[in-house]
Amino acid sequence: MRSRFDEQLVLLNKKMIEMGAQCEELIALVADSLLNSDIESAKKAKSQGHEIDRMEREIESICLKLLLQQQPVARDLRVISAALKMITDMERIGDQAEDIAEIIPFLNGKTGAEFDDFKLMAEATCKMVTDSIDAYVKQDIELAKAVLEHDDVVDDAFGRMKDILIKMISEKKADGEYAVDLLMIAKYFERIGDHATNIAEWVEFSVTGVHKGA
């Protein structure tokens, strides 16, 4: 019975890493196709998003089965409950990356790369997602904390980006549709950053048993 439990925990960990890697690749793909205005690769985002949704359901059922059949306690319970929370965040990251990918064709070949803060947001968000997954894989609290700190970079860049766009619209320098699209993408990046932060917090919880929000 126990060895089966351990096997299932190993499987859970494996699936979590796989799902994390999927998110990582999706956000990298979306950021890449956004900055290079590559509509073809943006189209691939949808199927990858579906794959992430499927993995979420799979992991969810593994977790529930473990909770019901094995009634884990202490660390195991923490790992499983943290996994349940993390997949929600991962799934949200996937959805929002998909949303960005949907906007790309409407940018008409523009990339937003002319704004340093926009580029910074795209790159910093990708790094946050990668680092949060890395923190999970290596169970590295230091890296998780670094992700939490990195969130401020994305938030600040979003604030600056917003100001720039407001200024542009008010001075009638920019095409309104383009500006709004950029603002939405920037907001999605900011949200993805928040989800990566959540993942990092849950990593910390599953290792130490203390959640930041508590």
Partner 1 sequence: MRKKIFHSIFTVALVVLLASIGIATSFLYDHFNNSQQVQLKEELRIVTDTVNNIGIEYLENFNSSVFRFTVVDADGTVIYDTQVNADEMENHADREEIIEAFESGEGSSVRNSSTLTEKTFYEAVLLENGNVLRASANQITVGALVIGMLPAIFVIIFIAVIVAFFLSLTMAKQVTKPITNLDLEHPVDNVAYEELAPILTKLHKQHKQIKKQTKSIRRKSEEFDQIVGSINEGLVLLDEHAMVLSMNQAAKKIFGVNKDVKGDDFLLYDRTSKTSKAICDALEGKHSEYTEERNGSVYQFTVNAIESSGKVLGVIILVFDVTDHAFAERNRQEFTANVTHELKTPLQSIIGSAELLETGLVKEEDKNKFIGNIRKEAIRLVTLINDIIRLSQLDENHKSATETVDLMTVVNEVVEVLDSAASKKNVALNVEGESCTIFGVKQYIYEIIYNLCDNAIRYNVDGGKVTIKISNKSGSPEISVIDTGIGIAPEHHNRIFERFYRVDKSHSKETGGTGLGLSIVKHAVQYHKAKVSLDSEVGRGTTVVIKF
Burial (Cβ within 10 Å: 0-12, 13-18, ≥19) of residue 154:
buried
**Residue 112 interacts with partner 1 (CB under 8 A): yes or no:** no
**Residue 25 interacts with partner 1 (CB under 8 A): yes or no:** yes
Query: Distance between CA atoms of 63 and 213, rounded to whole angstroms?
Result: 22
Region from 12-20, 108-116, 121-129, 194-202 binding partner 1, contact rule CB under 8 A = 12-20
For residue 68, which amino acid is it? Answer: L
Q: Which residues contact 185 (CB under 8 A, 6 or more apart)?
A: 34, 100, 103, 112, 118
C-alpha distances out from residue 47 to 34, 50, 51, 68, 70, Å: 17, 5, 6, 32, 34
Which of 9, 133, 154, 196 is in the footprint of partner 1 by CB under 8 A? 133
Query: Distance between CA atoms of 47 and 5, rounded to whole angstroms?
Result: 32
Least distance CB 33 / partner 1 (angstroms): 16
Least distance CB 25 / partner 1 (angstroms): 6
Which of 8, 12, 20, 164 is in the footprint of partner 1 by CB under 8 A? 20
Closest CA to 193 of 111, 134, 137, 124: 124
Task: State whether the Cα torsion 75-80-85-90 is positive or negative.
Answer: positive
Closest CA to 208 of 107, 130, 135: 135
Which of 137, 179, 180, 183 is in the footprint of partner 1 by CB under 8 A? 137
Burial (Cβ within 10 Å: 0-12, 13-18, ≥19) of residue 106:
exposed
**Residue 13 interacts with partner 1 (CB under 8 A): yes or no:** yes
**Residue 96 interacts with partner 1 (CB under 8 A): yes or no:** no
**Residue 46 interacts with partner 1 (CB under 8 A): yes or no:** no
Does residue 96 contact residue 27 with C-beta atoms inside 8 Å? no
**Residue 11 interacts with partner 1 (CB under 8 A): yes or no:** no
Region from 22-30, 38-46, 58-66, 199-207 binding partner 1, contact rule CB under 8 A = 22-30
Which of 4, 6, 14, 166 is in the footprint of partner 1 by CB under 8 A? 14
Residue 14 or 57: which CB sits closer to partner 1? 14
**Residue 18 interacts with partner 1 (CB under 8 A): yes or no:** yes
**Residue 206 interacts with partner 1 (CB under 8 A): yes or no:** no
Footprint of partner 1 (CB under 8 A): 10, 13-14, 17-18, 20-22, 24-25, 133, 137-138
